[in-house]
Structure 1
Amino acid sequence: MRNFFTLFFAAIFSLGALVLAIVACAGSTKNYSPINKIYCAELDLSQMEVSTVLPSLDSGTLSSLGLPTYINIGLWSYCVEDSSRNVQSCSSPSGIQKFNLTSLIYDNIENNDALELIDSMAAVILPEKIRSKMTYYNNLVKCMFITMIIGIVLSFVSLVFNILRWIIHIRPLVWGGAFFSFFAFAALLVSIGSCLGTYLYIKHILKHDFSDYGIAMNIGRTYQGLMWGAVVGALFNFILWCSVRSRPSVIYANTPIEEKPLI
Structure 2
Amino acid sequence: MRNFFTLFFAAIFSLGALILAIVACAGSTKNYSPINKIYCAELDLSQMNVSTVLPSVGSVSLSSLGLPTYINIGLWSYCVEDSSHNIQSCSSPHGIQKFNLTSLLYENIADNEALELIDSVASVVLPAKLKSKMTYYNNLVKCMFITIIIGIILSFVSLVFNVLRWIIHIRPLTWGGAFFSFLAFAALIVSIGSCLGTYSYIKYILKHNYSDYGISMKIGRNYQGLMWGAVVGAILNFILWCNVRSRPNVIYANAPIEEKPLI
TM-score computed with the length of structure 2 as normaliser: 0.99
Equivalent residue, structure 2, for 1:134: 134
| TM-fit CA distance, 1:188 | 0.2
Q: Which moved more, 1:243-252 or 1:141-150?
A: 243-252
Equivalent residue, structure 2, for 1:51: 51
Aligned counterparts of 1:135 and 1:83: Cα–Cα separation in 2: 31
Aligned counterparts of 1:232 and 1:170: Cα–Cα separation in 2: 27
In the alignment, is residue 153 of structure 1 matched against residue 189 of structure 2? no
Equivalent residue, structure 2, for 1:60: 60
Aligned counterparts of 2:24 and 2:47: Cα–Cα separation in 1: 28
Q: Which moved more, 1:27-36 or 1:252-261?
A: 252-261
Alignment of 1:52-201 (within 5 A): 52-201=52-201
Provide Cα deviations, 1:164-207, integer angstroms capped at 9, x if missing partner. 00000111101110110000000000000000000000000000
Secondary structure in structure 1 of the residue aligned to 2:252: coil
Alignment of 1:21-60 (within 5 A): 21-60=21-60
Identity of aligned residues (%): 86
Equivalent residue, structure 2, for 1:221: 221
Equivalent residue, structure 1, for 2:208: 208
| TM-fit CA distance, 1:32 | 0.8
Aligned counterparts of 1:23 and 1:164: Cα–Cα separation in 2: 26
Give structure 1 stretches of 5+ with no counterpart: none
In the alignment, is residue 245 of structure 1 matched against residue 229 of structure 2? no
Aligned counterparts of 1:180 and 1:34: Cα–Cα separation in 2: 30
Secondary structure in structure 1 of the residue aligned to 2:21: helix
| TM-fit CA distance, 1:119 | 2.1
Give structure 2 stretches of 5+ with no counterpart: none
| TM-fit CA distance, 1:255 | 3.9
| TM-fit CA distance, 1:120 | 1.0
Aligned counterparts of 1:117 and 1:224: Cα–Cα separation in 2: 39
Task: Look up the equivalent residue of 1:5 and give its one-letter code.
Answer: F
Q: Aligned Cα RMSD in Å? A: 0.7
Provide Cα deviations, 1:117-155, integer angstroms capped at 9, x if missing partner. 012111100000000000000000000000000000000
Equivalent residue, structure 1, for 2:236: 236
Aligned counterparts of 1:208 and 1:225: Cα–Cα separation in 2: 27
Aligned counterparts of 1:38 and 1:206: Cα–Cα separation in 2: 22
Aligned counterparts of 1:127 and 1:240: Cα–Cα separation in 2: 48
Aligned counterparts of 1:43 and 1:250: Cα–Cα separation in 2: 61
| TM-fit CA distance, 1:114 | 0.3
Aligned counterparts of 1:132 and 1:208: Cα–Cα separation in 2: 16
Aligned counterparts of 2:260 and 2:236: Cα–Cα separation in 1: 55
| TM-fit CA distance, 1:258 | 2.8
Task: Look up the equivalent residue of 1:53 and give its one-letter code.
Answer: V
| TM-fit CA distance, 1:257 | 1.4
Aligned residues: 263
Secondary structure in structure 2 of the residue aligned to 1:56: helix
Aligned counterparts of 1:189 and 1:58: Cα–Cα separation in 2: 45
Task: Look up the equivalent residue of 1:153 and give its one-letter code.
Answer: I
Secondary structure in structure 2 of the residue aligned to 1:84: coil
